[in-house]
């Protein structure tokens, strides 16, 4: 699993749920779970998704990354059998 270097609690606005492998990045106090969002990345096979949360007037309020470990594998090609 992913590990963190944070001593104690993560910085304000960051929340990682290891059970869902989801990173929430809150950029503005208006960020709500039921607010409109734009899907900017989807990999159905890997079950990975990135959305940009917006408020009612369209301003960016947060980012949600589902399947964070899978996205790292996709984006930087991590292979367990490779030594770096």
Find the mean pLDDT for residues 53-80. Answer: 80
User: 55 and 35 in contact (C-beta within 8 Å)?
Assistant: yes
Which tokens belong to 20?
């869902």
Q: What is the pLDDT of residue 70?
A: 86
User: 23 and 68 in contact (C-beta within 8 Å)?
Assistant: yes
Tokens 């606005």 belong to: 13
Q: Does 27 or 78 have the greater pLDDT score?
A: 27
List C-alpha distances in Å: 79 to 15, 17, 31, 43, 70: 26, 23, 35, 18, 11
pTM over 0.75: no
Tokens 């001593």 belong to: 7
pLDDT in tens, 16-65: 888 888 999 999 888 877 888 999 999 999 899 999 999 988 899 999 99
Q: What is the pLDDT of residue 3?
A: 56
């Amino acid at each position: 699993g992913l590990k963190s270097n944070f001593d104690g609690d993560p910085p304000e606005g960051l929340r990682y749920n290891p059970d869902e492998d989801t990173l929430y990045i809150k950029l503005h106090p208006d960020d709500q779970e039921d607010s409109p969002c734009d899907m900017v990345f989807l990999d159905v096979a890997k079950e990975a998704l990135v959305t940009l949360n917006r408020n009612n007037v369209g301003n960016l309020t947060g980012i949600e990354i589902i399947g964070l470990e899978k996205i790292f594998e996709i984006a930087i090609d991590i292979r367990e059998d490779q030594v770096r």
